[in-house]
Amino acid sequence: MIICPAEFEQPDPKTPGYSMTEVDYYSWIPSHMATKEIPNHRLSLRKNLKTGEFEAYRRYFNPLLISRKNVTMITGADTGLETVAFKSKEFKEIVKFVNEEYSKYHGAEEKLDQICQHRPPIKTTFCPIWKKLSVDEKTKIIIENRKKR
């Protein structure tokens, strides 16, 4: 996945002081890896608009067993508790941290996240910096990329 730091600037009306954009890195950790110190959780990335820091935060949940007729499922019940695991004003540092956390709990089988370069080929679909460029500027960049191939 490609992540653009410029996409974290819009405030969330439901959570004042934080970005509307959040990226979930994982929604659970394997049960054998959960400990008393770090129980089952999801890891997400957001921006604290008051401090200007990007935050990797853990949202914790407890196991919940649901049974309906012949089906039993274990899911998570949100505890409402969250902790900031790491924060930095440097986007590169926060992406490195969340990539390492993902690898620790889920392995690095896939290519890890990259930071948007605000131009193809490493650009998010909604990159606000790319959107602001004129058609002529975009065309020039695309032609330059084709020549490099």
Determine the 3-state secondary structure of 19 from DSSP: strand
Spatial separation of the C-alpha atoms in residues 49 and 22, rounded to whole Å: 13
* pLDDT, tens digit (0-9, with 9 covering 90-100), for 12-43: 999 989 999 999 988 877 777 777 777 788 89
- The mean pLDDT value of the chain amounts to 87
Q: What is the pLDDT of residue 96?
A: 92
**Whether pLDDT at 9 is above 90:** yes
- Neighbouring C-beta atoms of residue 79, cutoff 10 Å: 13
Q: Which range, of 89-93, 122-126, 144-148, averages the lowest pLDDT?
A: 144-148
Q: What is the pLDDT of residue 45?
A: 96
